[in-house]
Amino acid sequence: MTDSQALKARYADSLMNTFGPPKLVLTKGEGAVVWDADGNRYVDFLGGIAVNALGHAHPALVAAVTEQMSTLGHVSNFFATEPQVRLAERLLALLGVGAGGGKVFFANSGTEANEAAFKLSRRTGRTHLVAMEGAFHGRTTGALALTSKAAYREPFEPLPGDVTFVPYGDADALAAAVTDKTAAVVIEPVQGEAGVLFPPEGFLARAREITAAHGALLWFDEVQSGMGRTGAWFAHTASGVTPDVVTLAKGLAGGFPIGACIALGTSGELLGPGNHGTTFGGNPVAAAAALAVIDTIEKDDLLAHATRLGERLRAGLAHPHVAEVRGQGLFLGLDLDADKAAEVVQAAQERGFILNACTPQRIRMVPPLVLTEEQADELVAAWPSILAAAYGEADAS
Ligand code: PLP
């Protein structure tokens, strides 16, 4: 029995079977590369599902967490810490508002950030919410009520809320669904779990007009698409739209658990004392980690780097079996010409690459923003043989 097999057996005996059997047992990482318990090397195009923005073991992140933990690790929300306040100020500035232009609530994950936004929307005095078909917002019951996949929702119904789902990107359907009783409309500016899907040009602006006309909040879930993933700080930045609420998590602290619900303008006043809370949220170590991620993205110009590498991968991964390669920055979705995504992921893994199948026909790539050109080119070079193996064809490359 290999070390990986032995640990997988112990995993099966001791962990709940919520994720299915683990694909690999990983022991260490450096940048965009990880190694398994048997010493095999993989270039990681999943990055902890769009989390490891700075890759693995980044010195700036290690230093920030170590220094903060050795100074003041956790204090509870009865007390304030400087990293927590500085992070809130930085996030508001990245969203284009200064001090007083909005307010932040820190949580520990994407679903919790969304849970806070859900509760905030209730403080409008309205209960109706509009979400998108194909949406994924998390697994806690409020976020799950806004998640469209029946297989995730149905075992746990009834879920909270009065939710209408409309087709993603269909502004006319949205206009028909939103009324003066609608508390909020929640939209992922790019749908990640659905396979990196982009709405039509102008959809976010129409959503802003529709929500404004009915006094409803416009809430962008940027848990996956935010913090540089698309080559911009936020996927909605280019639309020029100012939402009322933005939720973040995943890449925000590069692997340290954190979530943020950011409410702009007067929506920042909707949650008051006693309305919401968390023990860990806003923990100074998580805040220091997030500040290190933001500083490093700025210092190393990783937004431009993500844009360049995304273009390189989109060009390099074109292939007769790939019907479409979509993406912005290092947020890439590939549609295959058949239901072969699981086979492609397996063939890639056998050749030293971690990819993700988000539907039977779709592959998602969300590598660390520090992925190098050489690592991107390694995948491009192996791509024809990965596809040949997945499709059971002779490799002509
Ligand atoms: N929102 C979006 C858009 C996501 O992609 C995810 C996770 O994939 C979540 C929310 C939930 O985040 P978490 O898994 O941290 O709870």
For the segment 248-260, the average pLDDT, to the nearest whole number, is: 98
- 182-187 and 217-221 beta bridge pairing: parallel
The predicted structure's pLDDT at residue 394: 84
Q: Which pLDDT does position 396 carry in this prediction?
A: 63
Give residues with Cβ within 8 angstroms of 319, minimum separation 6: 383, 384, 387
> How many angstroms separate the alpha carbon of residue 143 from the centre of ligand 1?
9
C-alpha distance from residue 247 to each of 95, 165, 269, 309, 332 (Å): 12, 19, 16, 26, 21
pLDDT at 132: 98
Residue-wise pLDDT for 291-305, tens only, equals 999 999 999 999 999
Cα of 111 from ligand 1 centre, angstroms? 6
Residue 119's nearest CA partner among 87, 136, 141, 88 is 141
**Which is the closest atom of ligand 1 to the Cα of 192?**
5
Q: Which atom of ligand 1 is nearest to the CA of 135?
A: 3
Q: How far is the CA of 385 from the centre of ligand 1 (A)?
A: 32
**Residue owning the nearest CA to atom 7 of ligand 1:** 138
What's residue 161's pLDDT?
Answer: 84
Probe residue for ligand 1, chosen from 18, 136, 152, 364 as the CB with the greatest number of ligand atoms within 8 Å: 136
The whole-number pLDDT of residue 72 equals: 98
Closest ligand 1 atom, CA of 49? 8
- Residue given tokens 């909707």 in the structure block: 270
For residue 41, pLDDT beyond 80? yes
Reported confidence tier of residue 98, pLDDT bands at 50, 70, 90: confident
Q: Average pLDDT of 189-214?
A: 98
Nearest protein Cα to ligand 1, atom 13: 110
Looking at residue 129, the DSSP 8-state letter turns out to be E
Question: Ligand 1: distance of its center to the CA of 384 in Å?
Answer: 32
Residue nearest to atom 1 of ligand 1 (CA): 137
Residue 390 Cα to ligand 1 midpoint, Å, equals 29
- Between the alpha carbon of residue 250 and those of residues 57, 177, 178, 335, the distances in Å are 16, 30, 29, 24
pLDDT at position 395 over 90: no
Q: Is the dihedral of CA 266, 267, 268, 272 positive or negative?
A: positive
Q: What is the mean pLDDT of the chain?
A: 97
Atom of ligand 1 nearest to the CA of 188: 3
In which element (H, E) is residue 174 found?
Answer: helix 171-177
Closest ligand 1 atom number to CA of residue 259: 15
Q: Give residue 116 CA to ligand 1 midpoint distance, Å.
A: 13
Residue whose CA is at the smallest distance from ligand 1 atom 10: 137
List, as one string, the DSSP characters of 273-336. Answer: TTS---SSTT-HHHHHHHHHHHHHHHHTTHHHHHHHHHHHHHHHT--TTEEEEEEETTEEEEEE
Q: Name the percent of the chain lying above pLDDT 70.
A: 99
Rounded Cα–Cα distance for residues 303 and 330 (Å): 9
Judge whether 182 and 129 are in contact, CB under 8 Å. yes
- Kindly give the number of the ligand 1 atom that is closest to the alpha carbon of 114: 10
pLDDT tens profile 106-157 = 999 999 999 999 999 999 999 999 999 999 999 999 999 999 999 999 999 9
The residue contributing the CA closest to ligand 1 atom 5 is 224
Taking each helix axis from N to C end, the angle separating 59-69 and 284-299, rounded to the nearest 10 degrees, works out to 150
User: Residues near 342 by Cβ (< 8 Å), separated by ≥ 6?
Assistant: 357, 360
Mutate to test the pocket of ligand 1, among 148, 193, 223 (most ligand atoms within 8 A of CB): 223
- 264 Cα–ligand 1 center, Å: 21
The atom number, within ligand 1, closest to the CA of 222 reads: 3
- Residue 224 Cα to ligand 1 midpoint, Å, equals 6
Domains of the chain listed by start with CATH number: 3-57+301-391 (3.90.1150.10), 72-299 (3.40.640.10)
- Residue 306: half-sphere exposure toward Cβ, Cα within 13 Å: 34
CA dihedral in degrees (152, 255, 192, 375; nearest 10)?
A: -130
Model confidence over 7-30: pLDDT tens digits?
999 999 999 999 999 999 999 999
Task: Name residue 44's beta-bridge partners.
Answer: 354
**pLDDT tens string 364-377:** 999 999 999 999 99
Q: Which residues sit with their C-beta closer than 6 Å to ligand 1?
A: 109-111, 114, 136-138, 188, 192-193, 221, 223-224, 249
pLDDT of residue 397: 64
Rg (CA), the chain: 21
